[in-house]
Amino acid sequence: MKDIDAMVKTVIVRYGELALKSEPTRMRFERCLREDIKSALNGLSFELRRERGRIFISTSSPRSVISRLVRLPGIVSVSPSVEVEARIEAISSAALNLARKSLSGKRSFAVRTSRVGSHTFTSRDVNTVVGSLILKKIPEIRVNLSEPDQEIFIEIRGERAYVFTEVFSGPGGLPVSTQGKVVALISGRVEGAIASWLMMKRGCKVIPIFFDARPYADARAKRLAVKIVKFFRAVEGSNIHFLVVPYGELLGVLSKNVQGPLICPICIRGMYKISEILADEEKAEGVVTGEGFDDLNSLEYLRILQYGVRIPIFRPLFSFDEGRIEKIAEQASMREFLSYPAGQSCSLFPRCLPDKVSLREVLDAEEKLNLNELFRKIAKNAEKIQKWSQWI
Amino acid sequence: MKDIDAMVKTVIVRYGELALKSEPTRMRFERCLREDIKSALNGLSFELRRERGRIFISTSSPRSVISRLVRLPGIVSVSPSVEVEARIEAISSAALNLARKSLSGKRSFAVRTSRVGSHTFTSRDVNTVVGSLILKKIPEIRVNLSEPDQEIFIEIRGERAYVFTEVFSGPGGLPVSTQGKVVALISGRVEGAIASWLMMKRGCKVIPIFFDARPYADARAKRLAVKIVKFFRAVEGSNIHFLVVPYGELLGVLSKNVQGPLICPICIRGMYKISEILADEEKAEGVVTGEGFDDLNSLEYLRILQYGVRIPIFRPLFSFDEGRIEKIAEQASMREFLSYPAGQSCSLFPRCLPDKVSLREVLDAEEKLNLNELFRKIAKNAEKIQKWSQWI
C-alpha cells in the first residue's frame, strides 16, 4: 500500500444521518463534525474543505488521518483518494496509476463512477474510457461488473475528481456534542466506557468520572481508567477533561460504621449523588452508567440505589446480553478492554455484598452518618484533570 | 412436512442463560419458564416433562406449539422430534423413517448424535449404524460431514431418544417475571412495544399502559394498541392484564389553558406521573418507554420531562438508531407494527410542539391548574382490563 499512499493526498469523509435533519440543524451538526475532525487530527498536518454532503481533507499522512477518523461519531466512511482535475484525461491517468498498484495479483476489476455537477461527459463515459484504458495497459486483467476482485471508484464533484479503491467504515451516528453533555461513571469496569461510547454515537459529549477507591481498590482500576480516558480522547478530542473523585474516605467510613450488606448500596448511591453534583457543575444533563440487568440484583434494588437522585440516569446497556456488549466493544475498537483484568477491585468484597436491604435501612444509615454532607464534601474535592500528564 | 408431523409427537425445548445461575436461582427460573410455557400453550393439548437442561413437550399439534414457543423469552431453541426408546434398533428405525421424508430431493446428509446417561453404545456407534442404514436404504444419497444438505440429529437422554431434523431459534434471554415487574407506555407508536420486548427478554414482566387520548386522537392509536396488547399476550401469557387511562380530559384542560409549547411537555410529564402512581399500585419497579434520542429535542428537555418523577424510567431504545430498532422488531416478529400507520395521533399537533420551554414555566402552569390533583384523579379512573373482550 506504500506506493499507493505516495499518490494519495485527499481523504474523502462521508457522513450520513445529518442529511435527515432540517437545514439549520444540519449546518450546526456539520460545523460540530468539522470541529471534531480538527480536534481528532490535532498534531497532523492537514487542510479541510467542505462541500454539501462531503468533507475533503488534504494531507501528507492519509493513513494516520484515517485511523483517527474511523472512530469519530457522525462519520459513515472515509476513503483515501487521488485528487485530480475533473477532466477525463487526468482521471484516466490517475485511475490507471492506481489500478497498476491495486490490481497486482488480482484477476478482475470494475470501474464505478459517480458525478455531481455539469460536465461534457457522463459517468458511463468515464467508466468506458477508464475501463478500456486499464484493459489495454494491464495484461491478463478482466472486467467483472458483478463480483470484481477489485473496484476502482471515481467520484466527480464539480471541477475536482477523486479516484480511490478503499472505503473504511466509521461508526455513523451523530457528531459528539450536538446533543448535549452527560457525565459517565467509568470506575473499575469497562462497561461504563462502552455505555459512554453509545451515548457519544448519539451525539452526546461525555465527561468521564473516575471514583478512586484507593486504598480499598488496587492500582488496576486506575490503570483501566487511564486506558478508557485515552479512548475518550481519541473520540472526543484531546482537549476533553475528566474528573477524579477521591472515594477512599467514604469507603473507610462505611467499612467502620455500617453493616456489610449496606456498604454496596450506599457506595453506589454515593457515586450517583456525587455525579449529580458534578454534572450540575459541568452543566451536564444526565449520568451514564454501564450497569446491566445482571449487575443489579433486582429492579427493587435499583430503586433503592436511585432513590432521591433527581438527574436522569442513562443505562444504555441495560437490556443487552453479553454477546451484544461484546459486539459493540468490537465496533468501537474496545475489544481489548473486555479482557482487561479489572477483577474485583474493591477490597471490602464480599463483605459488602447487598443482601436483603430495605430503603429504610439505607436512608437511616445515611442520615446517621450525615453522608449527604460527606458526598458534597467529596464532590468539592473532585479533581478536574485537563492535562494528560497531570494524572498518568 | 405433513408426513413428518404425523411421526413427531415431542417438542424439545432448550434454554440457555439459566445454566449460568446458582442452583436455587436456576430452579426458580426453570419453574418460571415452565409456567410461561403452560400459559403460552393455553388451549392446546400437551404434556410437559422436564429434565436437567431440557423441557420435553408431548403434543399432537407440534407446529402450533412451536409457533408459540419461539416467541418466549428464555427459550434458546425448539425442535419437533420423534421420541423412541433409547435402543439402537428403535433409534435406527425412527431415523430411517425421518430420513426418507427429509432427504427427498437432497444429495447428502450427516448424522449427529449426542448422549447423556449410560448406554451399551457410544454416540459414534449410533452415527455409524444409522448412517449405514440410511446409505443402504436410500438410493443415491451420500454422507457429507462438513457441509451436508440435511442433518439428522439424535439426542439420547437416559432411557429415551429423540430424532429430529429441525432447530427453530427462540429469543433467548431470561423467562418473563424472573426479574420483577415494570409498566410500559405503549400509546400511539410501536417503539413502546419494542422497548417492552427488550425488557421482557431480560426477564421483566411488563404491564402495558395505554393512554387513551380521544377525542384528541383518532381510533388508529387504539387499533395499534390492540395489536400490541395481543403481542404482549403471546409473549407473557393470555392471563396478563393491561391498563387504559382516559387522557382526553387532561388534553382538554391543556388545550384551553396553557400556551402551545407547554402542551407537549406537560402531556408527557402527566404520562410519567400517572404511570408512577399505577406502577406503585401494581407493585412495579419502573416505567418503560420507547423514547429515543431523536424523540427528545435535547437532554435538557428530557430533564424537564422527568423532573419530580421518582420511579426509574427505562428507555432501552435510547441509544439505538433506526436500523437497530428495525432489527429487533424483526427478531421479535413485530415487523408489521413498524409500518402501521399510527400517523400523528394527537390533534393538538403541531400547536403543542415544545419550543424553548423552561422548567419554571412548566411547573408554574402545572401548579396554577392544580394538575398533580388531576393526574391523581385520572390515575384513579384507569381501567384495569383483564378480559380481552372487555376492550376490543
Mean pLDDT of successive 10-residue stretches along chain B, which has 392 residues: 67 78 79 91 92 90 93 93 95 95 93 95 96 94 94 95 95 86 88 92 92 86 84 83 94 93 93 97 95 80 93 91 84 76 66 80 97 97 82 64
| Residue A175 placed within a domain | no
What would the grid cell of residue B187 be? 400509546
- Parent domain of A341: 181-391
- Judged by CB atoms closer than 8 Å, whether chains meet at A285 and B293 is answered as no
- CB pairs < 8 Å spanning A and B: 79
- Interchain CB distance below 8 Å, A316 and B313: no
- What is the structure's pLDDT at B3? 56
Same domain, A219 and A354: yes
What CATH number did the domain enclosing B101 receive? 3.30.2130.30
What the block records as the C-alpha cell of A103 is 490490481
Let me know: does B228 contact B190? Beta carbons within 8 Å: yes
Give me the residue from A172, A293, A312 closest to B303, CB to CB.
Answer: A312
B72 DSSP 8-state letter: S
pLDDT digits (tens, 9 = 90+) for A251-284: 999 999 998 889 999 999 999 999 999 999 999 9
> Domain with B233 in it: what CATH number?
3.40.50.620
- From chain A, the residues in CB contact with B25 under 8 A are none
**What count of other Cβ atoms lies within 10 Å of the Cβ of residue A50?**
15
Answer yes or no: is A139 within a domain: yes
Chain B residues within an 8 Å CB radius of A203: 293
Are the beta carbons of A298 and B201 separated by less than 8 Å?
no
Q: What is the DSSP letter of A173?
A: S
| Residue B189 near residue B268, CB atoms below 8 Å | no
CB atoms within 10 A of CB B359: 15
Nearest CB partner across the interface for B179, out of A202, A293, A313: A293
- Domain-ending residue, one of A169, A190, A218: A169
Amino acid B155: pLDDT: 96
Instruction: Say whether residue B248 is in contact with chain A using an 8 A CB cutoff.
Output: no
Phi, psi dihedrals of residue B261, rounded to the nearest 5°: -65, -15
Q: Of B169, B201, B220, which residue sits at a domain end? A: B169
The average confidence (pLDDT) of chain A is 89
Round to whole Å and give the CA distance between B386 and B153: 43
Per-position b or e across A107-125, b if 16+ CB within 10 A of its CB: eebbbebebeeebebebee
Whether residue A8 lies inside any domain: the answer is yes
Domain count, chain A: 2
Which residues of chain A have a CB within 8 Å of the CB of B181? 299
**Alpha-carbon distances of B200 from A21, A319, B149, B287, rounded to whole Å:** 33, 9, 36, 13
- Asked, for residue B176, whether it belongs to a domain, the answer is no
B180, B286, B299: residue with CB nearest A285 = B299
Query: Measured in Å, how far apart are chain B's first and last C-alpha atoms?
Result: 36
Same domain, A132 and A81: yes
pLDDT at A148: 95
Residue A8 pLDDT: 77
B74, B175 Cβ separation under 8 angstroms: yes
At residue B388, the pLDDT reads 64
pLDDT, residue A187, reads 81
Cell 477525463 sits on residue: A88
Same domain, A162 and A204: no
Q: Over 50: is that where the pLDDT of A150 sits?
A: yes
Mean pLDDT of the region A338-359: 71
Nearest-by-Cβ selection for A202 from B303, B307, B319: B319
Among candidates B172, B199, B307 on the partner chain, residue whose Cβ is nearest the Cβ of A319: B199
Q: Pick the residue of A293, A303, A363 with the most B CBs within 10 A to test the interface with B by mutation.
A: A293
Residue B379: its pLDDT value, please? 97
pLDDT at B21: 63
CB-side neighbour CA atoms (13 Å) of B202: 26
| Per-residue pLDDT at A307 | 95
The answer to whether B173 contacts chain A (CB < 8 Å) is yes
Interchain pair B298, A173: CB under 8 A: no
Regarding whether B147 and B205 lie in a shared domain, the answer is no
Q: Return the pLDDT at A1.
A: 47
Could you report the per-residue pLDDT of A15-68, keeping only the tens digit for each?
A: 976 555 677 778 888 888 999 999 899 899 999 998 878 999 999 999 999 999
The burial of B6, by beta-carbon neighbours within 10 Å (0-12 exposed, 13-18 middle, 19 or more buried), is given as: exposed
Q: In this complex, is the C-beta atom of B179 within 8 Å of any C-beta atom belonging to chain A? A: yes
d(CA B235, CA B171): 11
Q: Would you say residue B85 lies in a domain?
A: yes
Q: Which of B169, B204, B237 is the last residue of a domain?
A: B169
Furthest-apart CA pair in chain B: how many Å?
Answer: 87
Give the residue on A whose Cα is nearest the Cα of B198. A319
Asked if residue A229 and residue A158 are part of one domain, the reply reads no
Between residues 311 and 370 of chain A, which touch chain B (CB distance below 8 Å)?
A: 311-316, 318-319, 321
Cα–Cα separations (whole angstroms), residue A225 to A208, A212, A243, A266:
9, 10, 11, 22
Please check whether residues A191 and A326 belong to one and the same domain: yes
The interface residues of chain B toward chain A in range 184-223, judged by CB-CB distance below 8 A, are 198-199, 201-204
User: Are both A30 and A143 inside the same structural domain?
Assistant: yes
CB contact under 8 A, B172 and A202: no
Whether residue B286 and residue A302 make contact (CB cut-off 8 A), yes or no, is yes
Please state the rounded mean pLDDT for residues A369-390: 90
* Exposure on the CB side of residue A149, measured as CA atoms within 13 A: 11
Same domain assignment for residues A190 and A268: yes
Residue A324 lies in a domain: yes
Q: Residue A135 domain-assigned?
A: yes
Q: Which residue has the cell 499518490?
A: A7
List the single residue in B286, B313, B319 with the smallest CB-CB distance to A316: B319
Q: Most confidently modeled of A9-23, A149-163, A326-340?
A: A149-163
Q: Please give, rounded to a whole number of angstroms, the shortest distance from the CA of B153 to a CA of chain A.
A: 26
Q: In whole angstroms, what is the distance from residue A231 CA to residue A334 CA?
A: 8
User: How many CB atoms neighbour CB A340 within 10 A?
Assistant: 15
Alpha carbon of A202: minimum distance to chain B alpha carbons (Å)? 6
Q: Does B175 contact A at CB distance below 8 Å?
A: no
Task: Please tell me whether residues A302 and A354 are part of one structural domain.
Answer: yes
Question: CA–CA separation, B6 vs B379, rounded Å?
Answer: 52
CA closest to A179 among chain B residues: B298
pLDDT of residue B38: 92
Q: Tell me, yes or no, whether A316 lies in a domain.
A: yes
CB B292 within 8 A of CB B315: yes
Q: Cβ contact (<8 Å) for A321 and B173? A: yes
> Counting Cβ atoms within 10 Å, is residue B160 exposed (0-12), middle (13-18) or buried (19+)?
middle
Beta pairing, strands B287-288 & B181-185: parallel
Percent of chain A with pLDDT over 70: 93
pLDDT greater than 50 at residue A134: yes
Place of cell 456488549: A325
Same domain, B113 and B196: no
Pairing mode, strands A313-314 and A287-288: parallel
Q: How far apart are CA B7 and CA B109, in angstroms?
A: 20
From B204, which residue of chain A is nearest by alpha-carbon distance?
A299
* Region of residue B97 (phi > 0: left; psi between -120 and 50: alpha; otherwise: beta): alpha
CA distance A299 to chain B (A): 6
DSSP string, B161-227: EEEES--EE---SB-TTTT-EEEEE-SSSTHHHHHHHHHHHBT-EEEEEEEE-TTSS-HHHHHHHHH
